[in-house]
């Protein structure tokens, strides 16, 4: 028996197409390996000259089945996986998941832990916005911005490292609070950052906000009308850039966002430039929130819920008291069983509304875990914005949506 080997038919990913007698379209395959598709996004573009007549985002190159993994792990075991969805703002993802599980369990972390969660989530927002600004400006050609932004992001990552030992995938939050103590010099590190950052941010704005080339590249590009933004289900700066006032922190306050004073910046034109301005102002508001949290947070007190079967007991009491030792044993061997039911909780992530939906059947692993990531929904608007734009605008549009493919594909 002879084995016949046939050449596989090549998959044609780009071709020229004769639209009519006089018009020909060029199909350009942008990505998944491309310097400015922010990871592994693939966009199939139909071009007429340099004008885009069709745009078709193809996702899934970074799909790891995170939701399905969550349905095979115990509740507490899934927290490290949330880091790996949106890896530029890992603490925010931790927070969204942890808060959802706590809502399901009907427990709440102590006040001090809640404040520190807020501080870390806002720092994560700043870090994420800095990555966005750096890469967005780099895509449009402002080479140095990325290095300046990463310089400031470094300070935030140092704070994370001081707090939990990790910089990118922090695995920082736990169900019921924090296990680790707050390092005594951490508030000073954060205050140093708060003192330095506004000056640096003014430098960014000096370079971009009134730069004629930046204005030409961003104004009137990628306009989304408010009703279109709502119909697409956009959230975050993509929605607020169009002037729709929706911020989960104001609409359904979680943590102590109702105790701090901050404003929600809104755009008017819904173009790339307005979304840039909205995010820049959000960074300023984040600094304000962190400052207020640092002033309000109790300096002493528990960081973790004690004497609850849902929370892993602290290390020192496990070794000294019988109850906690038994609780720890059960927690580690069997995990905890939440009540039956379903729960959805949304938080304001740096990119928009991050929602976790959990269905519990009373067993230690979730029956269904669904993550509504903001950039997955926001990415839908790319074809709408790209229609009729120029080829160079596509990179500006991908940048303005602020996607992280780990979060889009999950």
Residues that bind another protein (CB under 8 A): 14, 26, 28-29, 34-36, 50, 137-144, 147-148, 151, 207-208, 211, 213-214, 216-217, 390-395
Which CB, 29 or 291, lies closer to another protein? 29
Which CB, 244 or 397, lies closer to another protein? 397
| Burial class for 97, CB neighbours closer than 10 Å (0-12, 13-18, 19+) | buried
Which CB, 203 or 225, lies closer to another protein? 203
CB of 393 to another protein, least distance (A): 7
13/335 Cα distance (integer angstroms): 48
CB of 259 to another protein, least distance (A): 37
CB of 69 to another protein, least distance (A): 34
CB of 66 to another protein, least distance (A): 29
Residue 4 three-state SS:
coil
CB of 158 to another protein, least distance (A): 16
Which CB, 65 or 141, lies closer to another protein? 141
Question: What token pair was written down for 150?
Answer: 């990463």
132/143 Cα distance (integer angstroms): 14
Q: What is the DSSP letter of 157?
A: H
Which CB, 147 or 306, lies closer to another protein? 147
Question: What token pair was written down for 366?
Answer: 């979730």
Residue with the two structure tokens 């990552």: 157
User: CB count, 10 Å around CB of 116?
Assistant: 24
Residue 174 three-state SS:
strand
**DSSP labels, 333-396:** HT---PPSEEEEEEEEETTEEEEEEEEE-SSSS-SEEEEE-HHHHHTTHHHHHHTT-BHHHHHH
132/123 Cα distance (integer angstroms): 14
Which CB, 28 or 186, lies closer to another protein? 28
CB of 173 to another protein, least distance (A): 32
Which CB, 36 or 53, lies closer to another protein? 36
CB of 375 to another protein, least distance (A): 19
232/217 Cα distance (integer angstroms): 24
């Amino acid at each position: 028996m002879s084995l016949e080997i046939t050449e596989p038919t090549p998959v044609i990913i780009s071709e020229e197409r004769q639209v009519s007698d006089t018009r020909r379209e060029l199909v350009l395959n942008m990505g998944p390996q491309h310097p400015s598709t922010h990871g592994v996004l693939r966009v199939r573009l139909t071009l007429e000259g340099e004008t885009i007549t069709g745009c078709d985002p193809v996702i899934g190159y970074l799909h790891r089945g995170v939701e399905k993994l969550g349905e095979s792990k115990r509740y507490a075991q899934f927290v490290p996986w949330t880091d790996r969805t949106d890896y530029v703002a890992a603490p925010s993802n931790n927070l969204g998941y942890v808060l959802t599980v706590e809502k399901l369990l009907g427990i709440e972390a102590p006040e001090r832990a809640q404040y520190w969660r807020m501080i870390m989530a806002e720092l994560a927002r700043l870090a994420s916005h800095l990555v966005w600004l750096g890469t967005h400006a780099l895509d449009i050609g402002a080479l140095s911005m990325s290095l300046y932004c990463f310089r400031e992001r470094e300070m935030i990552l140092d704070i994370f490292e001081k707090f939990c030992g990790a910089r990118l995938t922090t695995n920082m939050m736990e169900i019921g609070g924090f296990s680790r103590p707050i390092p005594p010099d951490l508030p000073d590190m954060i205050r140093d950052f708060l003192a330095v950052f506004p000056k640096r941010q003014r430098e960014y704005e000096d370079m971009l906000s009134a730069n004629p080339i930046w204005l030409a590249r961003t104004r009137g590009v990628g306009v989304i009308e408010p009703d279109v933004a709502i119909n697409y289900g956009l959230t975050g700066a993509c929605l607020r850039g169009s002037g729709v006032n929706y911020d989960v922190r104001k609409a359904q306050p979680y943590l102590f966002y109702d105790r701090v004073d901050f404003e929600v910046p809104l755009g008017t034109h819904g173009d790339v430039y307005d979304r840039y301005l909205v995010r820049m102002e959000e960074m300023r508001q984040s600094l304000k929130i962190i400052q207020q949290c640092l002033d309000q947070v109790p300096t002493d007190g528990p960081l973790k819920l004690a004497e609850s079967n849902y929370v892993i007991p602290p290390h020192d009491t496990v070794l000294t008291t019988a109850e906690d030792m038994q609780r720890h044993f059960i927690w580690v061997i069997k995990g905890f069983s939440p009540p039956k039911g379903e729960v959805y909780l949304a938080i304001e992530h740096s990119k928009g509304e991050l929602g976790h939906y959990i269905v519990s059947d009373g067993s230690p692993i979730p029956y269904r875990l669904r993550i509504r990531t903001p950039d997955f929904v926001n990415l839908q608007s790319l074809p709408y914005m790209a229609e009729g734009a120029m080829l160079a605008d596509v990179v500006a549009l991908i940048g303005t949506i602020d996607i992280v493919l780990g979060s889009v594909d999950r």
